A = this chain, B = another copy of it.
Amino acid sequence: MESEFIAWLRRRLPQHPRLRLGPGDDAAVLRLGDQPECVVTTDLLTDGVDFLIEEHSPRRIGRKALAVNLSDLAAMAAQPVAVLIALALPRIGGLSLAQELYEGLLPLAEEHQVIIAGGDTNVWDGPLVISITAIGKLTAHGPLVRGGAKPGDQIIVTGQFGGSILGHQFDFQPRIDEALLLHSQYQLHAGMDVSDGLSLDLSRLAIESNCGAVIEESLVPIAKAAVHLATSLDDGATPLEHALGDGEDFELLLAVPPNDAQRLLTDQPLDIPVTRIGEFIETPGLWRLLSSGERQELVPRGFQH
């Protein structure tokens, strides 16, 4: 529903000179004064969709709510500054729940020097809702956007994919430092964080860039959790299918021109692996490379909002 709604909203909203990037990217870029530019994003998490209050501890839920917002700032290569936290709490035990949510998110906030600038704490008869807005600032290298990939750019990812439901969906590290480092030392044409599934998010980035993408499936870095899930679940999905479609990996997906991609892959400048999984092409669509060298269309899979 969200993509349909965003399409409607893009048509409905007036253009504004202060808004450099609006709805549709991971975050918006806003001109507040003359400079610097401000990056803003909001993510709302609900019980039953993003977490299960009966199953997951409030501290992990609180941490996740902050981490997904910081991941959106990382997706834009923005430095986090502050967050605002709005809560709708169940009537019973609301105060201690709120405190536990904060105890879960505060260490992550401190780690990235994020200020808790404000909030709104409500009690109601419904389930838990956490809505966080994150504010960041751009570096001198400007924003990393979804729409800049060019045919010939290499598809580069950080980390591994798949099986995040086994724990990574809560414990992931938003790739802020990694995004800032890569954006400052290599030419990145486009980027985003993978939140809804590698193949689905890649297809979105390709669409925003008016190009296509070919995945070399044998190169996709598969998380141990994806292997574990494939063997323990009886859903017939392979580890690769989990890696391509599971979502909530919160890794970086980048379009890097060939020379910089080569340098980046050789340097391996991060504490986590950086991997090439394919390349962007002129022909629209998402494709997989067959061993024969031919391309076969790949159906994007992931979490559709």
Given A1-B123, A33-B36, does the pair A133, B42 have CB atoms closer than 8 Å? yes
A187 at the interface (CB under 8 A from B): no
A56 at the interface (CB under 8 A from B): no
Q: Quick one: copies of this chain in the complex?
A: 2
Question: 1/0 per residue A80-95: CB within 8 Å of B?
Answer: 0110111111000011
A18 at the interface (CB under 8 A from B): yes
Question: B82–A12 contact, CB under 8 A?
Answer: no
**Which residues of the partner chain B approach A13 to less than 8 Å between Cβ atoms?**
106, 116
Q: Pick from B18, B42, B84, B129: contact of A118, CB below 8 A.
A: B42
Question: A48–B121 contact, CB under 8 A?
Answer: no
A137 at the interface (CB under 8 A from B): yes
| B-contacting 9-mer, from A20-28, A224-232, A242-250, A294-302 | A20-28
Q: Complex: how many Å from CA A16 to CA B87?
A: 23
Q: Which of A105-137 contact B (CB under 8 A)?
A: 106, 110, 115-127, 129, 131, 133, 135, 137
Interface size class of A (residues with CB under 8 A): 35 or more
Question: A48–B118 contact, CB under 8 A?
Answer: no
Q: Complex: how many Å from CA A131 to CA B132?
A: 9
A265 at the interface (CB under 8 A from B): no
Question: A48–B124 contact, CB under 8 A?
Answer: yes
Q: Complex: how many Å from CA A30 to CA B119?
A: 14
**Which residues of the partner chain B approach A135 to less than 8 Å between Cβ atoms?**
30, 32, 38, 40, 135
**Which residues of the partner chain B approach A137 to less than 8 Å between Cβ atoms?**
32-33
A99 at the interface (CB under 8 A from B): yes
| B-contacting 9-mer, from A3-11, A139-147, A178-186, A280-288 | A3-11
A55 at the interface (CB under 8 A from B): no
A44 at the interface (CB under 8 A from B): yes
A14 at the interface (CB under 8 A from B): yes
A270 at the interface (CB under 8 A from B): no
- Identify the A interface with B (CB < 8 A): 1-2, 4-6, 8-9, 12-14, 16, 18-19, 22-23, 27-28, 30, 32-33, 35-36, 38, 40-44, 46-49, 81-82, 84-89, 94-95, 98-99, 102, 106, 110, 115-127, 129, 131, 133, 135, 137, 305
Give the 5 A-B residue pairs with the shortest CB-CB distance, closest first. Answer: A131-B131, A44-B86, A133-B133, A28-B118, A28-B117
